[in-house]
Structure 1
């Protein structure tokens, strides 16, 4: 198989990876009030829940587009990893739950966010060393 096949596989992987974040961003920006209510129920008070939802929606969208199109994908993927860890801790604190079912649901969501943060870190390394094909720009920061 030639390199074009593997480049296509990498691009499809990027597309599948960012599908979640772009979709989530759309939800954050179109259903802000409902999501702000959920954020408030999880204890988000600063910044105000509605603003937090809007900021995270924009951040998910920016990171998703950055990774998908390869526009400074190093910064997009690193920012996404940081955002996912923050989201996991703030929104899915399973250790605070007393109801077994709620605890299990939050643990699954926490683990998902942490695993996705790990995948974003992998992408950060690949973007940082300019190993990702089909990008609009190279990395923002020089790896050497």
Structure 2
């Protein structure tokens, strides 16, 4: 089962690894979107969030403090859901629907990351980790 958990961690973090790279390679484009959502210092916010999710992803894949890594993703996902995908403020129905889908996706992924945290916080620590949980 350890191999299955490791594969699951790799699959789970794929979107975050690619997203983090996108934050750092397409900073200007992403900063424009962040600015449109009234995020303070949007360029810095995009860069910091990119490093944040890359770090969390690498820690989780390697199994280095996987509980901390999962919590880092929860923080990122909840912030992104409420700050970037605030569909309830939109009037255009198509844009509202798209943002609601993204909001729901982020909440669902936050739930999965929270479940990962719980798994690693328990007595058993599956998944071929380099270093066990921090908490």
Q: CA deviation at 1:133?
A: 2.4
Say if 2:132 is the partner of 1:138: yes
Number of aligned residue pairs: 134
Aligned residues of 2:21 and 2:50 also touching (Cα < 8 A): yes
Structure 1 residue runs without a partner (length 5+): 1-5
Q: Distance in 1 between matches of 2:32 and 2:127?
A: 41
Aligned residues of 2:81 and 2:107 also touching (Cα < 8 A): yes
- Greater radius of gyration (CA): 1
Q: Distance in 1 between matches of 2:97 and 2:24?
A: 28
Structural RMSD (CA): 0.9
TM-score (norm 2): 0.96
Q: Distance in 1 between matches of 2:129 and 2:107?
A: 26
Relative contact order, higher structure (CA 8 A, sep 6+)? 2
Q: CA deviation at 1:140?
A: 1.0
What does the per-residue CA deviation read over 1:28-47, in whole Å, with 9 as the maximum and x for residues that have no partner? 001111100110011212xx
Structure 2 residue aligned with 1:3: none
Say if 2:29 is the partner of 1:57: no
